[in-house]
Each structure stands twice: as structure tokens, then as C-alpha cells.
Structure 1
């Protein structure tokens, strides 16, 4: 079934972190190109920024970060924990009854999606940003939920294997 992404997600959903509270901060540097996992975080005093929870997808919206594949699936937080990061993220939150959160992440790293997002960039050279409407109006074929979960699980197994291989490599270097 063809749908617009805006019908199945919340873009930059509202979350609360009190100013001055210490919380996990995921900076743009913590997103590795075309890597599902967030590479780390810092504990920092919240002064502002984009807020998100586990199962959200962080999508860099500024050049060159988007072109370089900086996108991640948030899965490092505690239950009900809210973290924050760059204002240069779009936070994609699945409406869970319509789209599987992990399937949404894999959709967001697809070549077709990224091409549409990149082509929508406006602004001065070197500081171009993806337009919100291009994300919300992105049209795609949405499989049934069971198929979404199956597809995300298959691709996720490959990502899981990559994580294990990276850990093995890190141990060999140490």
C-alpha cells in the first residue's frame, strides 16, 4: 500500500527534559556513517537540542552529514529515558501500529529515501538542510506489519553480525 511517511511517523515528537538536568547527549560525532548503532554518548547538562527515546531514528538533516550517511537507531537508553542531541537531527518516531520502528530505520537509510531528502536541501552552500515537507511527503510502498518485522529482522541480523565483528576487531587491536 502506498503511503506518505508523515502518515506513519511523528517527526520531532515533543519530549521533556528540564533545563539544567544532566542527561545523555548523543552528538553528531556519535553517529557513524551507515551504522545502526549509536557509537556513544556523553552525560551533559541539558540546555537545548532535539530530544528522543529508544526506538527513534536520528537522521542528520544538514550537509554533509546526511550525504555521509549519519543516521542511527536509538537503543542505548534506559526504559522511559529521554536523551538529547544536535538540533541538526530529524527524529523519526514510528506510529507503532502502522510501521515497525526498526523497519523505519532501514527505510531511512535506503538509497531512494536519501536521494529524495538530499535533493530537497536548501540553504547556503555548506549549510544546506533537508526540508521537513520532503520527509513528511515521502511516498513509499508500506508492506503489512508482519512483512515489515520479517524484513527488519533479516537486515537486523546482518547489523547484529557487524556489531559482533566490530567488537572482535576492537579486542584484537587492544
Structure 2
């Protein structure tokens, strides 16, 4: 079934005016939504209120059920687009939001939100951005001219309802993964306790007595290669633990700091500083360090020890700042008090982690299936195939 496509500006007001003169008292409380309160998954959290007098100038006004779209890079590319869920007549937020208010007789806000969150819409918006560097923005005209398929209002609501169910499944799968991601740390704390308090009475050690910190190596950029091949080793930088979009390789003879997927890698610079990584292999650069266990200490133990809240918070709070970056001061680690539990207990810990990993892999597969289902439904929804 095909529906007429109309310019979004014909069925929605883009950046409508805020409260009129005298509509809100200066002392009236309004919900406040900074950019950080809109997630990349399309959810909005409201945890702050301000008086109208505080926000009447310099902030963006909107109403319940308006659609907020982050216009600035990289927030737009990260899909910070959500339907407003505020409880005050007017709310205010970042000046980097576009506000879209559908005409109630023509456009359902949930339908509009799902339409705007499509990948191809985001890609089209990126191509229309104006400005330079980190200040590029999606112009209002892009939204005004954007063509949206417009079925009858009841059909829009039906489509949005189907997508709501699929999106909720994705959220549940993601939450399950989030809980599993902290389960290993919970098991560590249960088995070993806080390293400073040492409630189990394990032999006392200083951190650098059980872990050797090995800094990275930095070949000249002229040696960088961007395709894999014989005699090449992946050159790993901090960003590579977040994305595979920028894979870089170097000749084998320049791979001075080899590491494997089970090695523990520390992010030396921030923000955020002192990130603890695993899962890649290759050779690592000077922004990374390898935490190599000494003696009867396992890599699994070290990986979770470095993420214990007191140790992690201590290093982050006392990190140096150089050239605008936070950097781990190795002297902070040298004398930090830790412990050395029996190797048998560490081995038992690793076995429990293996069980968690099996459950996590299944959860990732289920999450991917849910994401694939949602993407398929979203694609079909706006083609009239649901």
C-alpha cells in the first residue's frame, strides 16, 4: 500500500514559539531537559526542574509529546531523537534541539519519532549539515522539506504501536546485557572483597608487585596501512575498542607491543581516563598500556581488580592533565595496596566467568535478533508493508 508523501513542514511546526507573554509566572516550575537526558536509544529522562525565570532566555521551549531532534554533530549522528515526556505545560532544554510539533489532526508524534530515527533519514541529514568541525548542524530547512509518507492518523497509530512493541523488546534485551556486563565485577567482589579493606585476609601486596605495566609503541604515521594482508599486524588505538570503523595496520617488524584478546589493556589518556579493555589483538600505541600479571596472578583477576571502584576512582580522581588530556600517573599505581588470593581461588573465579560468558553470548545473539527484527519492521512500516 502506498501513501501520499508530504513535506514535513506542511504537517508539523518546526521550532514553534514558546510561552506567550504572561502565560507562565516567573516562579513557575518547568521540567528541564539537557542534551544528556536524551539517549541514543530514543529515551528521555526528566530529573530536573527550574523556574521559568531561569530558562526563559537562552533555552529551547517545547511541550509534552513534541519531538526533540538533536541538531548538532555528533549528537544528531548518534540518533538523539525522542518524543518529549514531560509533565509541565512547557518544558525547556538545550538550544541544540530542533522541536517538531505535529498537527494533531494529521501527524502522530510516535509515528514521527520512528520515522525520523531511520538510518537513511540520519544519513540525509548529515549530508545537509552546515557549519564546520564540531559545530556542524542540521538546518531547519532540511526538516521542513523532508518528505514523510502520510497514512491516515489511525494507521499511523497502529504502525507506531507495532514499533513500540519491537522497540520494547530491544530495550529489554539491552538491559539484560547491561546487567550481565556487571555480573563479573559482582562475582569478583563476592569472592575477593575490596582490595584495600581485604576482608578475606589474603596476602598483602602492592599493585605493581603483582602487575607489570608495559607502555605502548608508536610507529611513524607514514607506516600506517589501512587494509589487512600478509606481514601486517593490526595497530590498536583507544577508539578501536569502541568501533571497527578505523582499522589500521603496520608492518610486522614495527609491531613492538604485541597483545592477545585475553590481555588486559589500560587506556592511559582520557576522557575518560583509565578505561580497562579486552577483546582485541595486535600491537598497541602509546595511549594504551598492557597490564601483565606477575607470578601466580591470572589475567581475569587483573582485569576485574583494575575496575574495583576504590582503585578505579582513586586513579581517575588523581590523574594528571597534560595538553588538555587526563593521563594516568603510574606513581599512583606503584604503591596502591592490593592482595594476592590463592591461585586456586582465582582459577575458580575464571571458571565462573566462563559460565557468565556463555550466558552473555546467548544474550548478545538474542539482542542482535531483536535489533534486526526492529530494523526490518521499521523499514517495512514506512513503505506501507505492515
| TM-score, with length taken from structure 2 | 0.41
Partner of 1:72: 82
Q: Does structure 2 retain, via aligned residues, the 8 Å contact 1:4–1:140?
A: yes
Partner of 1:10: 13
Partner of 1:37: 43
Partner of 2:277: none
Post-superposition offset of 1:41: 2.9
Partner of 2:230: none
For each residue in 1:136-167, what CA deviation from the matched residue of structure 2 results, as whole angstroms up to 9, or x when unmatched? 00113222222211110000122334555667
1:106 equivalent to 2:109? Answer no
Partner of 1:60: 70
For 1:162 and 1:39, the matched residues in 2 are separated by: 18
Task: Choose 1 or 2 for highest CA Rg.
Answer: 2
Name the SS of the counterpart of 1:15 in structure 2.
coil
Q: Does structure 2 retain, via aligned residues, the 8 Å contact 1:36–1:159?
A: no
For 1:56 and 1:115, the matched residues in 2 are separated by: 22
| Greater relative contact order (Cα < 8 A, sep 6+) | 1
For each residue in 1:121-147, what CA deviation from the matched residue of structure 2 results, as whole angstroms up to 9, or x when unmatched? 111211011111111001132222222
Q: How many residues end up aligned between the 2 structures?
A: 171
Q: Does structure 2 retain, via aligned residues, the 8 Å contact 1:12–1:92?
A: yes
More off after superposition, 136-145 vs 100-109: 136-145
Question: Given the superposition, is the C-alpha separation of residues 170 and 11 from structure 1 closer, same or farther in structure 2, using an over 3 Å criterion?
Answer: same
For 2:63 and 2:97, the matched residues in 1 are separated by: 13
Q: Aligned runs of 1:1-174 on 2, under 5 Å? A: 1-16=4-19, 17=24, 21-33=28-40, 35-45=41-51, 46-47=54-55, 48=57, 49-75=59-85, 77-78=86-87, 81-162=89-170
Post-superposition offset of 1:18: 5.2
Name the SS of the counterpart of 2:168 in structure 1.
helix
More off after superposition, 124-133 vs 163-172: 163-172
Q: Which has the higher helix share?
A: 2
| TM-score, with length taken from structure 1 | 0.86
For 1:43 and 1:112, the matched residues in 2 are separated by: 35
For each residue in 1:9-59, what CA deviation from the matched residue of structure 2 results, as whole angstroms up to 9, or x when unmatched? 0111222255564321100000111x2320333112433311111111110
Which residues of structure 1 form unaligned runs of 5+?
none
Q: Over aligned residues, Cα RMSD in angstroms?
A: 2.3
Q: Does structure 2 retain, via aligned residues, the 8 Å contact 1:26–1:85?
A: yes
